[in-house]
Amino acid sequence: MTSAHADSAVPAGDAPAGTAGGGGGGSRSAGVTVVGSINVDEIVVVPRHPEPGETLLATSSALAPGGKGANQAVAAARLGADVHMVGALGDDDRAAVALSLLADAGVDLAGVSRADAPTGIARITVDAGGENTIIVIPGANARVDAAFVAAHEQAIAAAAVVVLQGEIPATGSARAAELATGRVLLNLAPVVEMPDAVLRTADPLVVNVHEARLLLTAWGDDGGDPDDGEAAGRLRRHGIRSVVLTRGEHGAVCVDAAGVTSISSPRVAAVDTSGAGDAFVGALAARLAAGDDLRTAAAFAVRVGAFAVRGAGTQPSYPWAGDALPESGEAAQ
């Protein structure tokens, strides 16, 4: 892959007050560094998802900040974590939308640069039941390769938790995993080809049921249609240090050296499920950076995900520290 460096850093005025110096330190912090995508979400609300070849009238549309990396950074920062973002966006009008809630949440944007490509776009269709389909156009996110990431070594090496996803080039994720001295949280979404060495650095690997099965198939593990706990366990038997398998409204399954734990989700009335997985990952990273064990962190993250589906959009639906989170066993409202 040809290295394409971003042209310029985001001006200090775009960073939240008190964070513009950024860049990480020489010693491990208690913080989170997210190396990942920054997008603008184009959200279209429809009564139902159209059939192939069908034209359907939408009920509304909107632009909002998004991208799995940015979503996870906002989720962690709103919950009180010290978060540094490494990523790229375009020198275009959409960039201001993409940055707006990152800055508002207090994310350090010193690692975000302008690239010679348009800001990434996610086209999201949401039906009346809150279920969504998403098409991602990477744009500037495709510039976040190994060379780009290497320029942010200090911020990555200083973090207690480094968060990675599948929306930037695999070479960028691989370089970040090499530079990390803290815990690597890899959310392999979407499922992209990733070196096995990177996958085995993950602690945890976070995937949903569909992604877990795709990964097992890619490894030639064709042992039928495993249930959730079995799928997570089989991933760990392939050399993954720990696995968190997210199950939407059914919660999550954690697998590590201590065994398998199923965590139930509170029952809530979903308005929009887009970005709920990213809310979970951001919350998980925040609590792991604060010193929680995997199960305690995942139990908290499940409640954050349940909070997020009760609001429209991705980042705007995420809770702040101090917001009341739904409890397990709570009736739908």
Residue of 37, 14, 38, 31 whose CA lies nearest to 84: 31
Q: Is 233 exposed, middle or buried (0-12, 13-18, 19+ CB in 10 A)?
A: middle
DSSP code, position 272: -
Between 68-78 and 276-289, two packed helices, what is the crossing angle to 10 degrees? 50
Q: What is the 3-state secondary structure (H, E, C) of 141-183?
A: HHHCCHHHHHCCHHHHHCCCEEEECCCCCHHHHHHHHHHCCCE
Tokens of 61: 């549309």
Instruction: Record the tokens describing residue 4, joined without a space.
Output: 């394409």
Instruction: Give the DSSP H or E segment for 275.
Output: none
Positions marked active-site: 278
Bridge partners for 87 per DSSP: 112
